[in-house]
Amino acid sequence: MAADYDKLSTAIIQRFIQMLGATEALKQARRVPRLEVAPDGTVLSAVSLMEFSMLVRQFKSVGGSISVYFMKSAIAPLVPSGMILPEELR
């Protein structure tokens, strides 16, 4: 499942790059401990549910409920059936 969280994290970061610009989006993503992110928003490190949850909370802190909406739309086509998601994205 870690690979799935990597893909979801990448989708969220890349969505915020489109919305906020690369500098701000990457700055926010890199505040999550143990999360390595390439300049294009691709996640380079293995991501657990814990890191994914931290990333979600970090971007939610930037834009509140509208951020949650954009995160949900970014990951919707990528979420496998039965995957555990942070409460904010359920």
Q: Is pLDDT above 90 for 2?
A: no
- Residue 60: name the closest of 22, 33, 86 by CA: 86
Q: Taking the domains of the chain in order of start, what are their residue ranges? A: 2-75
pTM metric for this prediction? 0.96
8 A C-beta contact, residue 5 and residue 48: yes
pLDDT tens column, 3-12: 899 999 999 9
> How large is the average pLDDT for residues 30-36?
97
> How large is the average pLDDT for residues 61-90?
96
Q: Is pLDDT above 90 for 1?
A: no
